[in-house]
């Protein structure tokens, strides 16, 4: 009778030593993995309450407290503000930009004393660099999703405090490029786009020296009617002439200052020469007197 070996050894050769048995440790109980917990979304009611509280702090000029109470909504990881009504979103971001504007208007000493020596420069730098626009875009969920009223507030803020308006120009162009066509919008939306076009044409482009492009954009814009286009052309001509006159006056003042400095330099040089020429004559007269006395 054959005996069936259910589990043959590893090696069946004669004279081979049996393989040592390997004792595996009993399986350890696995630790449960820590799972990421998504932050709880803010309700529209709680956001509305935060806005009302922040508005009260702003009106009483308690600006740092107002900003601190509003930042959890602006920087909410769950982006709860996107689910709010349009009117509430406009109120929240308009108030946020108003707080930043008030901070930027304060002097360095007062700003650091009010906001903190590190916090105030960060706030102002966020405005001057245009980073605040990206901050609002992220909260809204994209360029073209930002409400037109908030875009107006953003552009006004950067026009008031940013030293270079090229970033403002690019932001407005990106917003207009990502927005739906004005032909598909209601009358109120078209009027808001006209307001943004006016800021872009008459305020931003002149600050970047894009005079001809401002006229081309006016001609091609579907948001501007014929009467507004004529008004924009006239205003652009006047603004450009005013700027040219200011530049001419500035160059003339610079030329006058250079002439005055040159005159002062020549006078100082002549004075040094006169002093140098008088010194030998005085010494020679003294020597003559000594020879005469001897």
pLDDT tens digits, one per residue of 258-268: 888 888 888 88
Tens digit of pLDDT for each residue in 29-77?
Answer: 454 454 544 556 788 889 999 999 999 999 999 999 999 999 999 998 8
Contact by Cβ (8 Å): 236, 211: yes
Tokens of 219: 């001609």
The residues, any chain, with a CB within 8 Å of residue 189's CB and separated by 6 or more, are 148, 182
Is pLDDT above 70 for 92?
Answer: yes
- What are 172-182's pLDDT values in tens digits? 999 998 876 65
Distance between CA atoms of 118 and 32, rounded to whole angstroms?
Answer: 42
Question: What backbone torsions phi and psi does residue 219 show, to the nearest 5 degrees?
Answer: -65, -35
Higher pLDDT, 103 or 189: 103
Q: What confidence tier does 278 reach under pLDDT thresholds 50, 70, 90?
A: low
Give yes or no for residue 19 having a pLDDT over 90. Answer: no
Question: In 3D, which of 148, 146, 50 has the Cα closest to residue 92?
Answer: 50
Cα distance between residue 119 and residue 125, in whole Å: 10
Torsion of CA 56, 59, 60, 61, to 10 degrees: 120
Distance CA 45, CA 59 (A): 21
Per-residue pLDDT at 91 exceeds 70? yes
**Are the C-beta atoms of 239 and 206 separated by less than 8 Å?**
yes
Q: Which two tokens stand for residue 216?
A: 């081309």
Element (H, E) at 84: none
For residues 273 and 280, what is the distance between their CA atoms, to the nearest angstrom?
12
- Whether the predicted pLDDT of 286 surpasses 60: no
Backbone angles phi, psi at 88, to 5 degrees: -70, -40
Residue from 144, 147, 171, 39 nearest 89 by CA? 147
Residue 294 predicted with pLDDT over 70: no
Average pLDDT value over all residues in the chain? 83
Report pLDDT for 276: 72
Separate counts of helices (H) and strands (E) for the chain: 12, 0
How far are the Cα atoms of 57, 74, 96, 101, 124 from residue 69, in angstroms, in the given order?
9, 10, 10, 17, 19
């Amino acid at each position: 009778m054959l005996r069936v070996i259910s589990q043959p050894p590893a090696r069946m050769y004669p004279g081979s030593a049996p393989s040592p048995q390997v004792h595996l440790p009993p399986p350890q109980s696995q630790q449960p993995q820590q799972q990421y917990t998504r932050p709880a979304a803010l309700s529209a009611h709680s956001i509305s309450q935060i806005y009302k509280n922040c508005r009260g702090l702003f009106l009483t000029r308690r600006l740092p407290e107002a900003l601190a109470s509003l930042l959890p909504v602006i920087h909410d990881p769950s982006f709860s503000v996107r689910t709010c009504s349009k009117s509430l979103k406009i109120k929240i971001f308009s108030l946020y930009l108003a707080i930043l504007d008030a901070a930027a208007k304060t002097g360095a000493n007062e700003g650091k004393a009010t906001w903190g020596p590190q916090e105030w420069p960060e706030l102002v730098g966020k405005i001057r660099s245009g980073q605040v626009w990206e901050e609002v875009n992220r909260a809204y969920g994209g360029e073209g999703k930002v409400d037109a009223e908030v875009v107006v507030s953003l552009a006004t803020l950067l026009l008031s405090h940013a030293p270079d308006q090229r970033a403002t120009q690019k932001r407005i162009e990106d917003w207009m490029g990502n927005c739906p066509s004005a032909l598909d919008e209601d009358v109120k939306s078209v009027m808001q786009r006209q307001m943004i076009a006016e800021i872009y044409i008459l305020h931003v482009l002149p600050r970047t020296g894009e005079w001809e492009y401002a006229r081309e954009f006016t001609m091609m814009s579907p948001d501007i009617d014929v009467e507004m286009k004529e008004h924009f052309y006239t205003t652009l001509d006047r603004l450009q002439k005013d700027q040219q006159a200011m530049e001419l006056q500035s160059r003339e003042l610079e030329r006058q200052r250079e002439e005055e400095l040159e005159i002062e330099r020549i006078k100082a040089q002549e004075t040094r020469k006169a002093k140098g020429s008088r010194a030998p004559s005085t010494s020679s007269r003294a020597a003559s007197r000594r020879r005469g006395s001897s």
